[in-house]
Structure 1
């Protein structure tokens, strides 16, 4: 079982370690050297020194390469990251959830394997596994398979099941790159109210206690809504007392079906101006995969999807053109004289428009001028 991964990543080559945020850039010649070496050979001195410098607790001196290193092969497809919704089902019913209907459905195991193999072939090194709640259903088998392919995995979860011993055992043997936990309140009443599940707070606390004890690489996503708005600082204080990094999210988005019902969870007092949208590489260097094997440019731009199990890796050749088309200003945004300073991408603006959201939620024209 590997402890290190040497891999191409976009236009570079990197040395990374599952469970660790750190890494090192590899000169192309060093990467090619590792590719050429037999797994039964000793670790070269320069690699021993590089590992000791980056990870002092890891000693690979006098070890065979195959005992600790996985070398990933080059890819001509140019993708470095991907996100996979393994299941849209969830044990919560959060008022603000952008997924709308939460259906427990997905692909047969053979298609999941095929999709993961294709992602690895496409160059995906960093994989975000999300849902719904990803840790329910066939999560562990899919996680282990992706990990064995040499992917650095982030798990996005509500944390309610992180106390399970089989899950913690999996993470000990196959460390994740990061575990991102959504936080929906600092007290039982608000947490259970937003998730619409009695006992959800107790499960969250139990999961967080177990995750912290296991020293999982945690990061919190603090979600501020009308239900818990008064507890924003309390949630921040709790994260800081745990010694866990965090990010605060306040702006709600419509559902993936264009529904605006979840926007009522928005705390108007906490609505924040987004930064100017300057473009992204959605569809060009990363993509999203849904539970049925449908690929889109991202979680928002879900139009013109590609069936990865049926089309195979060749289907990804169409993704860049789809991305460019979806980013074009159309509908109510075409001809806008201040589109260059817009704070949302075109696919997200389209969702807001379909949901008949207040203009101020996504467009500069709706902002009050003082």
Structure 2
């Protein structure tokens, strides 16, 4: 059945490709930005760009959820593991993201830091229950879908009265980053984004409504797309149609999973556990207003930053990058970030804006 489905997908994809070619207006430009890791995989691994006409350019957003974290945060994670003797639980993707003072969590683990892989915050909480003598710190990174899972784990930790489990929260918000990219003249104007392919799993959580202000306030079409190659192609066709008609609406290609309101249960959990930070530094973008989450005071007992008095110093490398990003942002959009060598923040290279970390599935 899988092979039959693959054949059907290929036929459908060729049909969508033909429709996109037929819809081209030669004097128009179609520069479309995606944010989703699944979309990056579909584009990179299945040669999707080869199915598109030359007028259509696909670029990836600020980076995957781990790579957008500032280098100073990676350094503080490593300091925490080395100096406080905690067990740091991280995703596999986080291991190779470079810091400024330290090379990476992977090299810190090789140097003796107690760093373990945890696919979910629930896995880290389970580890804390099995080993009550160890201090378990879960590094919570990712966009809204991952934040919902962290909120659920923290609610469970509170219900259990867990005392050896805490969370280092670095969750970031997708619509805020999109707004920043089109509102900041130094980035948005140079990038010349004509439309957004909105992420799949994030949109399942936050719903269609969350993107409508992007379309209305900045006159940018947005199409939410599913994770498959044919989903992305169909989203491209929908965006091409909007651009040709000079429309800027928010449309939902991924209707089989995304609703107008999103997952309201997950949203209620997140609202109870998190509050929005006034500002958060992204690697390559600098400070982005109201673009990340922090734990509410009610969950201070499980907040690793408060428990270990961590001071984030994001005023060195990150600020230098932000100061010069306008001059180089255009060149960096669409840069390729190899999965085993994520882009390192260098003053001469400025940013991983548009980096595509297409990890192996």
Same topology, TM > 0.5: no
Q: Give the structure with the higher percent helix.
A: 2
Relative contact order, higher structure (CA 8 A, sep 6+): 2
Which is higher, the Rg of structure 1 or of structure 2?
1
